[in-house]
Amino acid sequence: MITPAFELTQDPDFLTIVIKVPYARASEFDVYFEGEDFKFYAKPYFLRLTLPGRTVEDGREKASYNTDKGTFTIRLPKEIPGQYFEGLDMLTSLLAPKKSRSAKPLVEEIAASAELSEEEEEEFDWEIEQTPYKDSAESSLPLQYCYGFGNLRSGVFQRLQDELNDVIDIKDPDQTPVDERRRKRLAAEAAKFEPDHYLADFFEDEAVQHVLKYKPWWVDAHKKMTALKGKSHQDQDAHTVVVFSEEEREQLRKFTNKSYLLDKRSRHHVYLGLIDILLAYCYEIRVNEGDKNVESSWNVRKLSATLCWLESFTSIHDVLVSFGRRVLCYPLYRHFGLVTRAFNDTVMILQLGKAAVLKCLLDVHKIFMENDPAYILNDLFITDYCIWSQKAKSKKLAALSESLQKTTLTKSHIGFELEELEAAAVLVQEEESMLKASGRVSRQQLPSSESETSDCEESSSSSSETEGSDSDEPESSTSEDGEINSVQDTLQGERTAPLIDCNGLRQGTNTSMFEVSDEKSKVSLQSTTPPGKLIEELEKQMHTAIRLSEQPEGSATPGCILQEQEENRVSEPDRLSEDTDGRGNY
């Protein structure tokens, strides 16, 4: 028999079941419904459903067949008009027979199976292969630790160790207890963390800011749900905002329905593992903006410690810390903003209800199925999560979302000293910017200071000539003595030539004086005279020239005065002798 494709909808008074049966004989079909049971048969199709609410046969039921589409549409009256049937999207749970929904009959069957009939005993395989008994060194078999969904699996990795090395990070999980797995995981994360990569994404976050602006499908769905709740104040309207595609419905029909015997502690681990898987999935969807690539499978399983290290968490805070550490250690974008955004996305998905949770799990299941080694994680975790989530209570998921929303995660919780690392990087950045700024200022000041020095020398020289000419003009206009005029002409000729060199030394036409002061010039050239001293020396020279112009007859000649000025400026104890140019008294 073939299980046909089907879907269920409802209104306040009727439950509508649409069954796709192409190439079936429309003249030969049977429909049976009573209470919560529904059965449909049209060769070669057979469908049996356990409905989430009771229906009644009162004459209002109706069935129709569309030959073009090959679909049967059956409308069943509700026993209680206005009752809301929850979980019509959970196709796998609807396929289950009623008796398998409870754990009690399973326990009774296990107890009853011990009493085997003679016919069942005759079916025992007497040709079973036997091996000689070997006494082990230890009195008991080695202890195997559990893992997988609800910690219901063990011994899997002994058979598939070669294939699972590329899927999980822990080695020999069958012999590794939970506490040791956690210690090894924390050590591996600490060794993998790279401060340079983190700081690069922290300061140069253009790409990160771009992906943070992306809005996945659950953002709009959450807005619609909030709007519907505000208008009708009914929680059931929230389920209409999540719609499954035909491909996702086909996935649900292929699952084999199961019932899980989980104690309180195992259920706690299952809910926390669900948060961990959803966090990793939200990160993957956001950084790739909803597209899938060859790294999608790696991202999901690497960021989830539940999948990669077979971790069993004990608190929501531990889940968030583990996810935050792994985001900052492994993927391409290692930014704390992505951790908080994935946290908010997971809260939205849980608030949307189990339909949104199931839609995300189906996408993870598809990602792993398309990856060769990762498909094993579907057998260990995701398939069971897809089946179990359809039967999870909505109130439990709502309470889980509230607890998750109240939990806080800061950078100090991660354990990598992120705040200290960021503060040190900011200080280094500020110092580098200050050094660059000071370097630019010094390069600008160096040529400007040189130009200021040369400008100062030129202005001082021109001012000395101007002062000298200004001081000589009144003397030339008032003096009528020819000898004084000749001295003035001599001084004017000397001023026409450069009076000083670049270091403040006089360069006159007197050759003997230049030769005598040559050694002194060499000494003064070793150190550049500051502009202030240069001005002072120029002022001394100008005062000397003024005094010379004011001297009466019989006073010292200009050559003697300039000689005295030269000796005072260099501060030498010896006097220069008179030369042969007639330096003496007029």
In the predicted structure, residue 56 carries a pLDDT above the cut 70: yes
Q: Which amino acid belongs to residue 529?
A: T
Buried b vs exposed e over 30-39: b needs ≥16 C-beta within 10 Å? Answer: ebebeeeebe
147 DSSP β-pair partners: 153
What is the rounded distance in angstroms from the CA atom of residue 239 to the CA atom of residue 221?
10
In the predicted structure, residue 412 carries a pLDDT above the cut 60: yes
* Position 444 confidence tier, pLDDT thresholds 50, 70, 90: low
pLDDT at 296: 93
What is the rounded distance in angstroms from the CA atom of residue 530 to the CA atom of residue 51?
103
* Position 138 confidence tier, pLDDT thresholds 50, 70, 90: very low
In the predicted structure, residue 429 carries a pLDDT above the cut 70: yes
**DSSP 3-state assignment of 525?**
helix
**82 touches 69 (CB < 8 A):** no
In the predicted structure, residue 432 carries a pLDDT above the cut 70: yes
What is the rounded distance in angstroms from the CA atom of residue 349 to the CA atom of residue 400?
11
**DSSP 3-state assignment of 87?**
coil
What is the rounded distance in angstroms from the CA atom of residue 85 to the CA atom of residue 520?
113
Tokens (6 digits) for 98: 């009623």
Span 499-531, pLDDT tens digits: 344 444 444 444 333 333 444 344 343 444 444
What is the rounded distance in angstroms from the CA atom of residue 74 to the CA atom of residue 19?
8
DSSP state of 78: B
